[in-house]
């Protein structure tokens, strides 16, 4: 499997309330971080929770998911009418302890988000009030060439492999 969908009730407005801090915080130099990445099709702002003051709020919003300072959260915006090309998330290298090996994606929109994979039989829609666990070591992207508005996603990385993340979420959700 490349991805798995879960129904998970979350408050979109509460998640969006975290965006300003994530976008406007300069991360400490831990030797490993990714903050802002702009490409023609999307923007990503990702920070480790130890660089933010909102860890308690994130813990409340995402309960029962355990939140730790070494986890990261982010906002990803897919520009209107764009396709995020297939890619893997290894900006900081696969041996880096903070490399994202999987990602939990929250749909912050009132429309489905279409996640694509190299093997199209694994493509999935994330509906509102759903989360998707994504194996970012496999090629993935997002097809929104028919969506005429900005697509907003909240991401959580709990520093686990895809299989370990799925196993963990299966026990708590």
Q: What is the 3-state secondary structure (H, E, C) of the chain?
A: CCEEEEECCCCHHHHHCCHHHHHHCCCCCCCCCCCEEECCCEEEEEEEHHHCCCHHHHHHHHCCCCCCCCCEEEEEEECCCEEEEEECCCCCCCCCCCCCCEEEEEECCCCCEEEEECCHHHCEEECCCEEEEEECCCCEEEEECCCCCCEEEEEEECCCCHHHHHHHHHHHC
CATH number at residue 48: 2.60.120.10
pLDDT by residue (tens digit) across 56-91?
A: 999 999 999 999 998 999 999 999 998 887 656 655
Residue in the structure block whose two tokens are 């090629």: 139
Rounded percentage of the chain residues whose pLDDT exceeds 90? 61
The answer to whether residue 91 is domain-embedded is yes
User: Which pLDDT tens digit goes with each residue over 129-153?
Assistant: 999 999 988 886 899 889 899 999 9
In a domain, 29, yes or no: no
Q: Is the pLDDT of residue 100 over 80?
A: no
- Residue 39 half-sphere exposure toward CB, CA atoms < 13 A: 12
Alpha-carbon gap, residue 127 to 56, rounded angstroms:
27
pLDDT of residue 109: 97
Q: Which residue range is the domain that position 18 belongs to?
A: 4-8+11-23+34-153+162-172
Q: Provide the number of structural domains found in the chain.
A: 1
pLDDT over 60 at 92, yes or no:
no
In a domain, 28, yes or no: no
Residue 48 lies in a domain: yes
pLDDT band at 171 (very low <50, low <70, confident <90, very high): very high
């Amino acid at each position: 499997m490349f991805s798995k969908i879960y129904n998970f009730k979350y408050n979109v407005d509460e998640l969006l309330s975290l965006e300003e801090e994530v976008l406007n915080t300069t991360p400490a130099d831990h030797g490993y971080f990714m903050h802002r990445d702009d490409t023609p099709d999307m923007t990503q702002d990702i920070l480790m929770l130890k660089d933010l003051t909102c860890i308690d709020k994130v813990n409340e919003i995402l309960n029962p998911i355990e939140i730790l300072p070494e986890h990261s959260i982010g906002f990803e915006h897919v520009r209107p009418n764009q396709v995020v090309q297939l890619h893997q998330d290894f900006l900081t290298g696969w041996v880096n302890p903070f490399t994202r090996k999987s990602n939990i994606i929250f749909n912050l929109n009132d429309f489905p988000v279409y996640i694509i994979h190299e093997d199209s039989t694994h493509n999935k829609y994330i509906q509102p009030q759903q989360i998707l666990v994504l194996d970012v070591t496999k090629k993935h992207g997002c097809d929104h060439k028919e969506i005429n508005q900005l697509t907003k996603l909240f991401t959580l990385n709990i520093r686990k492999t895809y299989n370990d993340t799925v196993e963990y979420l299966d026990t708590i959700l």
